[in-house]
Structures are given as C-alpha cells and as structure tokens.
Structure 1
C-alpha cells in the first residue's frame, strides 16, 4: 500500500485541490468517462483519497495532543506551537487552514469516486463494493476529524462547483454524524474485507471500520452501541503484541496482530516517509547518532512532568513512551552516554527510526490499534454498568505493561482508571485532547493552561470565513470573532 501511494503521487497531484474547498470543481463529464471506467481506474482513484491523509497526519498531533496536558511545547522558537499549547489560538494559524484543505480534498476525492462508481459497469469494475467501502471509510474518517476539530462544517456528499459551494453553509455536528459518518461506516463494514495480502496491506478493513465506528459511538456517548460494536472487533482475531516495545521497533513489520489502521508512509530513503523521527527528537548529537537519525531534531511534542508521574515503577511502557534528556542513554556495550538539554528537557522514543535521509522516516501514525479498542470497550462496558467485565478487559492492557491488575473497584473509580490508562498507553498517538473533550473534562483539566469554555473546538480558518463572507450561513465559532 505504501508503494502504491508513492507510485501514484504524481498522478494525484494533478488532481489536487486549489487553495479553498469552495473553489474545487468536479471532474468534467468529458474526462470522467476516460478516468473512471475500469477496476484499476477506481483502485487508482481510491489510492488518491488516501494520499492527503499522509500530509494531514504529519501535523495532526498539534491538534490532538499539543492542547492536552500530557504534551507541551518546550522548544520556544516554534511560536505557533507554543501558542497552541497555551490556548493562544487565532483563526490564522497555519495548521488550521491546511487541515481544513486537506480534509476537504479527501472528501472531494471520495465524493468523486462515489458519484462515478454508481454508474460503473460491474463487469469492468469487479471490486466495486470494496472501492465503495474504502471511499466511504475515508470520507467518514475525514468528517469525524473535522467535526471534532471545528464543530459544525459544510456537509458535502457530491462534487460541487464553486458557485454552489459559495452558498453552502455549515451543517450541524449531529447531522453530519447521522447522515455521513455513521452511515458511511456502517456501509463500509459490510463491503470491506477483513484483511488484505501483498501490496494491498494497509488499506482500510472491516475491522478498521468497526473500530472507528465504536469510537464514534463512544464520542457521542452512545455506550450501548459502542459496547456492541467494539465487542465485534474483539472477536476478529486481533491481539496485543506481547512486548509493548515491538510496537515502536521499525525494523519489524508494522502490520502485526495489534495493527488495525495506520496512516501509511513509504519506507525511508524514497523521500516519501514521515517526519516524526525528526520532529519529536531533541536536537542533540548524542540522540541523533544513537538512534541513527539524519538531520536536526525538532524538539517538539515533549511529555509533561505530570505524565511522567503517572507511570508506576514496573510499567514497561515508560522507557519507550517518555524520557528525560538528563537521564542520558546506554549503548549496546553498556556505556552510559550523558546529555545536557539545549532546549527541550524531555522527549518520546516512540517514533525514533533509523533514517537514510532527514525527515524521511518509515514510522507510521497509528490511528487505531487493538489496545485502544480494548480501552474503549472497557469504558463502554463500565458506563453500561458492567464494571467487573470492564476491569477484566482493562487488565489485559495492564498485564502487557507489567503493572498490577485492578480488582473490586466501583464504577466511578474504574472510569478514572480507564482514563488514566489511556494516557499511559496512548501518549502522543492523537488521543488525549479528544478524550478530554468527549468526556467533558477538558476545561477543568486545562483551564490553568489557558483554556476558555468555548475552546472545545478550534476556530474556522480565517481564509474560509473571508471567502464565504456571509456570517449568516458561515459564522465563526463563538469566542474567536
């Protein structure tokens, strides 16, 4: 899948969006018949839907982790990141405008595929259901991110021309959940295969659709449906890797028993890898050399002291999840390598991968893995009054981490322990900010960090407000005017 994306990158660029989603025009009827005819045509077009996620998820952590209490921007020269970390947020932040455009590019491409595949000849398009399932999964994922980031957004279900888009207002979050996200995922799970082989590995699967749908239900506090859907995922053959560190060993295949869905990056050396290894590393030669990196460390996304304090003395996750610079490193010969912080005093080892070229890492971004599913399932069970069952599921994750099992806890205490376990297990994996918001704890936890009550969503990008220029149908989010 990674190589397929890289081979089609040049083709995809020719179909890319212009600077605003409202300026996108549907593919002309003349070219449509040529572009969308055979099964391979649709397979290539679907790969084009995946591609913008690669760009988007390079900075997704800035929206999903940095505003939370487990990650901080210690490197002070990155002003926008420092501001995001401290809730000094305005509608001109680059990460907001690029995120908006990336997601609507994905939606436009998915809508184009879905609009054209309806009339496709089944004799020529032999994997029609799979193409539909992938397009719907990817569109649902884009809208899920959009509504969690921005709240009400335009709901587009077909390619539209600029004049139509200029009149399109923002649709309610609940409408988008009901009419797009949930419907798309329900349809996708019926059409997607449980697994792939060969170069197709990395595409969306039935398990990915079910896991994402479970997260959607949990976000909406529909705990009964969340429990049922996540339980289905637990019966599909997924399992925790015995060793937590193996999740972050990039010399091994990332498509293992715990893998459910990643944003895929091409293996390092081709110029199409991720930037994670560089952006999260301290800019210290000892670390650059120890991990086999190339180029400078970005010193971003540092773990907070509050997160450090949560890990117990036997927790096997701590050594790979969080690290202090002053603790140094020990090489293969047992030699201690001392270090002195230049700017960032802490960092994560999760994304450290040997590089051939700077900013060209083979590290994927884990969207959903099985530990996440188990913790969501435990949360749904507990909210449905099944606390004993919830503890059994929660303890699966704790056993792998080497920490004691929980027994005999009440519902409220179990709820808090699950929330904490998500912090320990899923640090810097795009979960913490959204967990705080969906559980109603964002303001109490983050008010001292600068959060205001209206900041459960981010501002609509200024350039989109200016292009529509009609606050009646396209208003800015409250508090950001």
Structure 2
C-alpha cells in the first residue's frame, strides 16, 4: 500500500531530472524534452513528495517538542534540549534543513506547474490530477513554513538563483490569500476522491478539503472552516471503531479514518521511517518486547502532566505514553520489570517490530478524520453552534472509551475541544501549533521559558547570510 513512496525513493531521483533538484535557471533546451507525456509528469509529481519523507522525520521537533506534553529528558542532544527549553538560535541545524527541504518541494512543484500549463491534454491524460497534486503539496509546504517561520518568500514560479538571492519575505496573510487558499481550492476541484492499487497514498480531494479547512481554522476564518470541514463528513470517512487500530502497524494504514500520511516503505529495503527508534528508550526489555532492532533514541518523552489528563477508561493513554517504572506485561500476563536510567517516560505511538534499525513501517499522519471532526467541532463552537459541536466532540471521545460531555456552554466547550486535541493527537505534530493558533502558548509555556516573540522560530542564519540585506530579508524579531 506504500508503493508510491517506494517508487519515488528507488527510482525517481536515481534517474531523475536535474531541473527539479537544483535551483537553477530553467533551460528550455534541457527541460522541455523531458516533459512529453503523462508518465513524464507523473514521475515529476512523485518527485515532489520525496523531500517530505525526510522533513517529516523531524516534524515532531516543531509540532510536539516545544509544547507542554513532551520534554527532552535525555540530554545527549543539546539541540533537542534547546528546542524544548526555548533557547533556539538561528544557527540550529534543523532550521536550515527544513527551510531547504520545503523550498525544494516548492521549486519542484513550480517546475511541474510551469511545464504542464501548455501541455496538450490529449497527451497528458491525467493533467488535472497532476496539477492538483502539485498544488496540494506546494500548499502543504507553505502552510508548514508560515507556521514555523512566519513571513517567508512567496515563490510561485521557477526563478533563477540570482532572482532568489534578492527575494524578500512576504507577509503571512499574503501567503494564505495568494497561494495556500487558492492552491487548495484548485486542488480539491481537480483531485480524485480515492485511488486504487499503487496510487494509494497520493493526495486526494478529501486531503485538499481537510488541509483547506485547517488553513481556514488557523487563519480564524471560522465560517469558511465549518463549511469546508462539513463537506468531509459526507465523503465516506469514518472513525475506526477501535483507537488502538490506528497505531497497529501490522494492519493497513489506508482505512476509513486515513486522509493523508507521509508514507514510508516497510519490507527491509531501508526505506522505512526512524520514528520507532527515535522515541524508544534504550532498554533491552523494550527493544526485545517490540522487536525493535538497533538502539533506542530516547527522545521526546511525555511529561508527567499528560498522564494525568487521560480518564481510566481512555484507550489513548496505553497507546500513547508509558512510564519505565511500570514495566511491561508479557503475553502471559507477567510483568517485565524495568529500571529508569536516562528517561523515566517514553512515547508508544510508533512502537512496532522492524526488519532493520531505523527502518520502521510507521507512517506520519498529517491529517486523519478525527482531526477533521475536532476542527469541525471547534469551528462550530466559534460560530455559536454549541450543541452541534458537542455532538461531534463526543464522537471522538466515545470512540476512545472516554465519557461523554453534556450541557457545556461555549467557553467550557472550547476548552474541552482543546483538551481533546491533546489527548487524541499526542505526538502527531499538533500540540505546539494548536497552542499558538489558539493564543495559549505564552500562558501555558511560561515556565518553560517562552517569550512573546517565540511563537515562531528564527529564520536560518544561512538564509539571512545569503541575502545579507536586512531591509528586504530581516531576521524574525527577538532573534537578532
């Protein structure tokens, strides 16, 4: 079911087109001959997906680590400790790595879109789909970029390195209005509702609608968010009956709740994710119990606070978090004791057996249907539809085995929806962005050392130095 990403990694850029790898002037002679038929464009679109695989391996460092549900107990990585404690500087390596990855995605999407515009639909039989995919992926890259860095350069067509070196930063509102929203609206009109066979895993109409709904919600356009997210409730998506099945990697991840993942390939080909090793404590009982090869990275430990938030009947706690001192329970019901060494707690969502170290079958869930429902409930709540929002919120709670809420006024309902997102999406790249989006970050994270300017990260120093002109490309305030 993950063939798309196996294909792109094994073949796309071993035999790939130079002009969608490098930021160089577009040469008509060198590139036009490479975009002749539908397969040419299909291969080029596959290439747009590829940088997401590397980028999302570290997305938790933005979406989870700065938040209040995760801490870096193991101090071997000073960069992770710094992110956790809000002492990041512009020279932190992940910043430039992410910046380059996202702009590589954007450049590849821009190249495909520029070449396909004049292509003959008789030769390019899937022209609309290719355009829709390219625009969805470009919008996703820009959506992540503005949430991480704030104002960024808006580049919507291929440009030369010389042009790029003089391009300033555009306002976040402009990025939303001029690209993210427009790209996603066009993508939803062009993408199919579903795929079959090796194409499963590509962006769909539902993925475009869901990301558009999230963009509207993030931009506080609640009426538009409600309307868009409501559309997904009529498209055949549904919650899985058991929350635990979402993170049982022996089962198909493309189910009724799946909307869009970053896909990794299992099967021992070295194309898997590193999630399993990243979050596992380096303790032999855990590694042996789950069939994990290599060592545990011991990163991203859940805080004590998150444990207390789950009700005793909530299935999500056992799937999401664990304490080393609690040990493990084997198949016969016997306890396997463990002693905390470097970490006292650990994250469980990506635990699965793997053929080789750092070669996990676990995907990264960008958007799933529970996210749609909780965003839909939030939008309805902000639009004064308290009873309707409560009904939707309770769908997510009861699936997890938690008790229903009743008789909530708008303020309490808002808080319960925010809480539900914490419980549902622990270590899925949501918490930090939710805190910023809802205006809670400065209050909730005060003890961790956050300051008002820290709701976005610094622009990488390497990018500041390339332009070397603060009048058109300034650093984010507070990081100078």
Per the shorter chain, which TM-score range?
over 0.9
| Number of residues of Structure 1 aligned to a counterpart in Structure 2 | 478
| Structure 2 counterpart of 1:429 | 428
Structure 1 length normalisation: TM-score?
0.98
1:206 and 2:240 matched: no
1:301 and 2:300 matched: yes
Q: 1:466 to 1:15 in 2, by over 3 A?
A: farther
Contact 1:26-1:112 at 8 Å conserved across structures: no
Q: Separation in 1 of the partners of 2:295 and 2:250?
A: 22
Q: 1:268 to 1:278 in 2, by over 3 A?
A: farther
Q: Separation in 2 of the partners of 1:85 and 1:25?
A: 37
Q: Separation in 2 of the partners of 1:12 and 1:47?
A: 10
| Structure 2 counterpart of 1:467 | 466
Structure 1 position 204, deviation (Å): 0.3
Structure 1 position 16, deviation (Å): 6.9
Q: Separation in 1 of the partners of 2:310 and 2:276?
A: 23
Contact 1:65-1:431 at 8 Å conserved across structures: yes
Q: Separation in 2 of the partners of 1:35 and 1:8?
A: 17
1:2 and 2:7 matched: no
Q: 1:16 to 1:76 in 2, by over 3 A?
A: farther
Q: Separation in 2 of the partners of 1:197 and 1:302?
A: 38
Q: 1:171 to 1:24 in 2, by over 3 A?
A: same
| Structure 2 counterpart of 1:416 | 415
| Structure 2 counterpart of 1:139 | 138
Q: 1:396 to 1:16 in 2, by over 3 A?
A: farther
Contact 2:151-2:171 at 8 Å conserved across structures: yes
Q: Separation in 2 of the partners of 1:311 and 1:268?
A: 35
Structure 2 length normalisation: TM-score?
0.98
Contact 1:268-1:357 at 8 Å conserved across structures: no
> Is the deviation greater in 144-153 or in 159-168?
159-168
Structure 1 position 143, deviation (Å): 0.1
Once the two structures are superposed, residues 92-150 of structure 1 have per-residue CA deviations (whole angstroms, 9 ceiling, x without a partner) of 11110100000000000000000000111111100000000000000000000000000
Structure 1 position 268, deviation (Å): 3.9
Q: Separation in 1 of the partners of 2:231 and 2:4?
A: 30
| Structure 2 counterpart of 1:187 | 186
**1:88-237 equivalences in 2 (<5 Å):** 88-237=87-236
| Partner secondary structure for residue 368 of structure 1 | strand
Q: Separation in 1 of the partners of 2:311 and 2:244?
A: 17
Q: Which runs of 5+ in 2 are unaligned?
A: none
Q: Which runs of 5+ in 1 are unaligned?
A: none
Structure 1 position 6, deviation (Å): 2.7
| Structure 1 counterpart of 2:80 | 81
Contact 1:315-1:402 at 8 Å conserved across structures: yes
Q: Separation in 1 of the partners of 2:203 and 2:228?
A: 17
Contact 2:229-2:376 at 8 Å conserved across structures: yes
| Partner secondary structure for residue 255 of structure 1 | coil
| Partner secondary structure for residue 455 of structure 1 | helix
Consecutive aligned runs of 4 or more in structure 1 exceeding 3 Å deviation: 13-18
Structure 1 position 27, deviation (Å): 4.1
| Structure 1 counterpart of 2:253 | 254
Q: Separation in 2 of the partners of 1:428 and 1:341?
A: 21
